[in-house]
Amino acid sequence: MWRQHVQQFLATAEFGAALKEEDVLAAEAALGIKLEAQLRSCLLETNGVKGEHSLDLLWPIERIVADNRHFRSHLDFAELYMPFDCLLFFADAGNGDQFAYPILAGAIRRDDIFVWNHEDDSRTWVAPSLKTYFEWLLTDRIQL
């Protein structure tokens, strides 16, 4: 399903190998949060999606875990930015900005996707779901 959805907007997209359920459970345990349903489904089908110029449209699960842990624990970031424990990053725009789900009261309770701007620390809504994020990103509806 996810491969076909992305390929209708970008035929040259590259996909990682499907994950096993235990891989997702281990990532959720490491992050202390259950992944959003569409993100979970996409990762189980394809562990990461690359677009043009090898841009990560969806990071592999290992990077999702590593980058989120890094952003939440980096001491310099605590001085420069608002806290990152309210975001679950899953992709980047190739310019330093990153896409994320909002975390509310310790859980992802909405399907919405936001972009975090690394220059001004703003967090802006860009799509109502992961499915729409792929469509809008690949048809240039999301402008950064």
Question: Does some domain include residue 32?
Answer: yes
SS3 50: strand
Query: Is residue 48 a part of any domain in this protein?
Result: yes
Per-residue pLDDT tens digits for 54-92: 999 999 999 999 999 988 776 677 677 676 788 999 999
Residue spans of the chain under pLDDT 70:
74-75, 78, 81, 83
Tell me, what CATH number does 49's domain have?
3.40.1580.10
pTM over 0.85: yes
Instruction: Report the number of distinct structural domains present in the chain.
Output: 1
Check if the beta carbon of residue 59 is closer than 8 Å to that of residue 90: yes
The pLDDT of residue 25 is 96
Residue 92 belongs to what domain range? 2-138
